[in-house]
Amino acid sequence: DGGITQSPKYLFRKEGQNVTLSCEQNLNHDAMYWYRQDPGQGLRLIYYSQIVNDFQKGDIAEGYSVSREKKESFPLTVTSAQKNPTAFYLCASSIFPIPNSYEQYFGPGTRLTVT
């Protein structure tokens, strides 16, 4: 089955610890994205990558870091500098450039709780 997998589904961490969220896709997509969703809020873009070994900051990149060493993988690290890390994190992918007729596909998400 083609798709996007995110692991783990739930993640609990103590304040001050860095944590890495996994995102893998087997859709052969060039571009990958990380979004954050807070209750009652729209999704906000954290980082995106259009090609291997390249990535760009989105609207809320502070306190996060990413890498793109392989086409199919785009891990997100939530660092201790992120002031409010508790949220639902969604990974997405698409071909790039994206034709007007093409969608972004989303993974199942990781719920991170930091106490």
Partner 1 sequence: KQEVTQIPAALSVPEGENLVLNCSFTDSAIYNLQWFRQDPGKGLTSLLLIQSSQREQTSGRLNASLDKSSGRSTLYIAASQPGDSATYLCAPRAGSYQLTFGKGTKLSVIP
Which spans of this chain sit near partner 1 (rule: CB under 8 A)?
6, 31, 33, 40-45, 48, 50, 88, 90, 92, 94, 96-98, 100-109, 111
Which lies closer to partner 1 via its Cβ, residue 63 or residue 106? 106
Q: How far is the CB of 6 from partner 1 (least distance, A)?
A: 8
On whether the CB atoms of residues 85 and 114 are closer than 8 A, the answer is yes
Query: And the tokens for 93?
Result: 């992918």
Which lies closer to partner 1 via its Cβ, residue 9 or residue 15? 9
Q: How far is the CB of 101 from partner 1 (least distance, A)?
A: 6
Which lies closer to partner 1 via its Cβ, residue 69 or residue 103? 103
Which lies closer to partner 1 via its Cβ, residue 75 or residue 88? 88
DSSP labels, the chain: ---EEEE-SEEEE-TT--EEEEEEE-S--SEEEEEEE-TTS--EEEEEEEETTEEEE-TT-TTEEE--SBTTB--EEE-TT-S---EEEEEEEE-SSPPTT---EE---EEEEE-
Q: How far is the CB of 29 from partner 1 (least distance, A)?
A: 12
Q: How far is the CB of 5 from partner 1 (least distance, A)?
A: 10
